[in-house]
Chains A and B, each alone.
Chain A
Amino acid sequence: GQNIDQPTEMTATEGAIVQINCTYQTSGFNGLFWYQQHAGEAPTFLSYNVLDGLEEKGRFSSFLSRSKGYSYLLLKELQMKDSASYLCAVRDHNYQLIWGAGTKLIIKP
């Protein structure tokens, strides 16, 4: 079966750095996505990795290791508005997105 694992909840302090991990087992691989979802709102796109390595976009970076079936999302200089759920999704061999349950990130002052 296909499976995406990420921690259910994490807590971090404003101004700090947090790393959210995602491991996956899917039928094929055609890219990994990270989305942010604030409570009661729709998911919004953060990053996309298809090759191994680090993709940096402002305060957010995403890393991929295809051989390990592993990715992480790194958030720097945390702000209160970063409190949200972060969803990891993998596009499988049928180009369908398989979603993790999401990691709820709580930012404390």
Chain B
Amino acid sequence: TAGITQAPTSQILAAGRSMTLRCTQDMRHNAMYWYRQDLGLGLRLIHYSNTAGTTGKGEVPDGYSVSRANTDDFPLTLASAVPSQTSVYFCASSDLENTEAFFGQGTRLTVV
């Protein structure tokens, strides 16, 4: 079972350019999440989706947008990248509210 897959694994992006980070899960989980992880800080929630067709803002949503057209896919878009968006991005999914979240392998993004 693939579980949850992110693409690309890493990317160098010029400031001002746009980019979409892809996330796909095959576990039929209702909830999906996008986090960023920076050195010395905990995982910070960017956006989430509790079910297909709905999305919500997390702790650090500015500069990012998401969509949830179906259960499996949850892309994250940076409309105009800035250097402060250099980070490792993790996509995660979970089923019921009180069960574990499964993480993708992460996307290492460098904005220069």
A residues contacting B by CB (< 8 A) are 4, 30-31, 33, 41-45, 48, 50, 87, 89, 91, 95-102
Q: Which of B42, B48, B98 interacts with A4 by CB under 8 Å?
A: B42
* B98 engages A30 (CB within 8 Å): yes
- Stretch of B21-29, B74-82, B103-111 contacting A (4+ beta carbons < 8 Å): B103-111
**Size range of the interface on B?**
20 to 34
11 sampled A-B residue pairs with Cβ under 8 A: A4-B42, A31-B98, A41-B105, A41-B106, A42-B90, A42-B103, A44-B103, A48-B99, A99-B35, A99-B42, A101-B42
* Also in contact, A101 and B97, with CB within 8 A (given A41-B105, A44-B103, A96-B58): no
Ordered nearest first, which 9 A-B pairs have the shortest CB separation? A99-B42, A42-B103, A45-B100, A99-B43, A101-B42, A95-B97, A100-B42, A43-B103, A31-B98
A5 CB to closest chain B CB (Å) equals: 10
* Also in contact, A97 and B45, with CB within 8 A (given A31-B98, A43-B90): yes
Chain A residues with Cβ under 8 A from B99's Cβ? 48
Q: How far is the CA of A45 from the CA of B33 in the complex (A)?
A: 16
B36 CB to closest chain A CB (Å) equals: 11
Interface presence of B2 (CB below 8 A)? no
* Also in contact, A50 and B101, with CB within 8 A (given A42-B90, A96-B45, A101-B42): no
From B42, B44, B58, B105, residue with most partner A Cβ within 10 Å? B42
Q: How far is the CA of A43 from the CA of B101 in the complex (A)?
A: 9
* A87 engages B42 (CB within 8 Å): yes
